[in-house]
Amino acid sequence: MKTIIVDMMGGDNAPLETVKGVGRAIEELDKDVKYILVGDQVQIETIARENEISLEGCEIVHTEEVITMTDDPILVVRGKENSSMSIGLRMLKEGKGDAFVSTGNTGALFTGANLIVRKVKGVKRPAIASLLPLQPPVLLADSGANVVVTPEYLEQFAIMGSAYMKNVMGVEDPRVGLLNNGEEEHKGTELQIETYKILKANESINFVGNVEGNRVMQDTCDVIVADGFTGNIFLKTMEGLGKMMLKTLKSTLYSKVRTRAAGLLIKKEMAGIKKTFDAGELGGAPILGISKPVIKAHGSSKAKAFKNAIRQAIAYSDTMLTTEIEEALAEVAARKKAAEEVQASEENK
């Protein structure tokens, strides 16, 4: 029996959509899961009643304090210790659940995961990894948490991203690409040039080289590695253009009688296309490098996206991902140490 701890209060549409999402999770996902819902009990129960959602078997941990989307992230550990996010993270830390899902303030969740749940041993910086709605899906690490990074951080993002795609998404020998402004190995800033060398030398990952923005969509890699600044620009640009194109298409289809007829003929297909490019279909963003599964659902998640984030939390908690990450990082560290010792002993000759 798994236990998933759910932050009911964060996010743009909470608690209405989080309650609906949990309702769908109970109905549609693995029955052998218990949910701990952290949030305002009266609000949660009222919404459940009004929407005829059964929360039977769920445990509700009541709190009225909420971390808002504009709150300073540090409040999660100092100032709003009684917020639903803070309580949920502490319960995860204390072993009262197997995973934590939140649609709230990203910075606060990242900070709380780091300071309350703590990092996997050997991890320099955890990364927020977003599954991009491509076919097949591509994991972007980092998608915004670490604006300033070193080549070593990026190497760890590559290792953690690989482990996630293998263990949670079932991709064998995931291909890792480095997001860059050209394919040649001298491309990019110093950061990318140095990272290229390190990734190429790392035998434990399947590095396929530099990948340009347009090539990410062409089934060239399963994991795309970037600093959080570039990753954020990449992710937001995809989101923005995707939405704009669907909007243009929709307004075109509904502009005239003739095109409306066409719209009716392809209604199902249009929904399919929308689904194809909907990040919410894939669930949330795991925070890689935290010692227990913490999943960030998109701030604007509706019920379905929230349910999918819960699905992902269950899948994550079914794996030995954190152990694998710890071992992989230890292996890389050991290999580097050995290489340094060889070098040092040669220099002493």
Residues at the contact surface with a second copy, assessed by CB under 8 A: 134, 144, 147-148, 179, 181-182, 188-189, 212-218, 228-230, 232-245, 248-249, 252-253, 255, 258-259, 261-263, 265-266, 269, 272-273, 276-277
Least CB distance to a second copy at residue 112 (A): 19
Q: What's the min distance (Å) between Cβ of 268 and a second copy?
A: 9
What would the two tokens of residue 245 be? Answer: 């194109």
Please tell me whether residue 2 adopts helix, strand or coil conformation.
strand
Nearest approach in angstroms of CB 75 to a second copy is 16
- What is the closest distance, in whole angstroms, from the C-beta atom of residue 182 to a second copy in the complex? 8
Shortest approach of a second copy to residue 269 CB, angstroms? 5
Task: Reduce the DSSP state of residue 138 to 3 states and report it.
Answer: strand
- Using the minimum distance from each CB to a second copy, give the nearer residue, 26 or 129: 129
Which residues, in sequence order, are CB contacts of 132 under 8 Å at separation 6+?
Answer: 138, 139, 140, 216, 224, 235, 238, 279, 282
Q: Which residue has the tokens 């599964």?
A: 293
Distance, in Å, from the CA atom of 171 to the CA atom of 206, rounded to the nearest integer, reads 12
17 CB neighbour count, 10 Å cutoff:
23
Place of tokens 């991890």: 123
Comparison of 147 and 330: residue with beta carbon closer to a second copy? 147
Sheet holding 175-179, edge to edge: 59-62, 33-39, 2-7, 99-102, 294-296, 285-288, 127-132, 138-141, 223-225, 175-179, 206-211
User: Which is nearer to a second copy, 58 or 233 (by Cβ)?
Assistant: 233
Task: Provide the minimum distance between the beta carbon of 212 and a second copy in the complex, in angstroms, as a whole number.
Answer: 5
Q: To the nearest whole angstrom, how small is the minimum distance from the Cβ of residue 347 to a second copy?
A: 33
- Which of these, 234, 332, 301, 247, lies nearest to 8 by C-alpha position? 301
Q: Which of 61, 1, 33 is nearest to 310 (CA)?
A: 33
Q: Smaller CB distance to a second copy: residue 84 or 232?
A: 232
Instruction: Indicate the residue among 46 and 251 with the shorter CB distance to a second copy.
Output: 251
Measured from the CB atom, is 180 or 322 closer to a second copy?
Answer: 180
Nearer to a second copy, 138 or 321 (CB): 138
| C-beta of 42 vs 217, nearer to a second copy | 217
Q: Whole-number minimum distance, CB 122 to a second copy, in Å? A: 26
On the 0-12 / 13-18 / 19+ scale of CB atoms within 10 A, 146 is buried
Give which of 245, 268, 264, 244 is closest to 254, Cα–Cα: 264
